[in-house]
Amino acid sequence: MTLKGEQVYLRALEPSDLEFLYQLENDESIWEVSNTTTPYSKFVLKSYLENAHRDIYEVKQLRLAICVDEKIVGFIDIFDFEPKHRRAGLGIVIASEKDRGKGYASEAITLTCNYGFTHLNLHQIFANITSDNTKSIELFEKLGFQKVGEKRDWIFSEGIFKNEFIFQFIHE
């Protein structure tokens, strides 16, 4: 199975993920990375889950649950999927501080990249990371992503502008 590693497995979203999704999407501490500015209602998120099965070629994105045993610990997203140009963006969040630093994100990114290269015929995957997010920068660099650009004053958060780096992994 392409989406199963030693510690984590990735799966499609389920209706039972509503409470976890609600808590995560309304966690203001991650709004900066998700480009969120207002809370989500359970009604809106339930509708999102009901449509999550739609084809990546149609909606240009795919969100997968990151699971350890039977417990969901985060999400990984493929976004801005461009089949013609064979590229897509990648975003990840591990919800709880206690689940970070255990290798879950690293394995989930590796599984998702392998899925993208194998099943979506991607040539490259990119990630956007704010310049002060040193843990994510270290993670993506460790996995072979290279910093290829910087968008200055790109993210306005908590009263200040932050630069955002662009990382790419090009599949040869």
Query: pTM for the complete prediction?
Result: 0.91
Grade residue 157 by pLDDT with cuts at 50, 70 and 90: confident
- The domain limits of the chain are 9-170
**What is the predicted pLDDT for the residue at 126?**
98
Q: Give the pairing type, strands 124-130 and 87-94.
A: parallel
131-145 pLDDT, tens digit per residue, is: 999 999 999 999 999
**φ/ψ (deg, to 5) at 156:** -100, 115
Q: What is the rounded average pLDDT for all residues in the chain?
A: 91
Please report, for residues 4, 77, 84, the alpha-carbon distance to residue 15 in angstroms, rounded to integers and kept in the order given.
Answer: 21, 17, 32
User: What homologous superfamily does CATH list for 9-170?
Assistant: Gcn5-related N-acetyltransferase (GNAT) (3.40.630.30)
**For the sheet containing 124-130, what is the strand order?**
9-12, 62-68, 71-82, 87-94, 124-130, 160-170, 146-157
The residue with tokens 């394995």 is: 107
Give the containing element (helix H, strand E) for 171: none
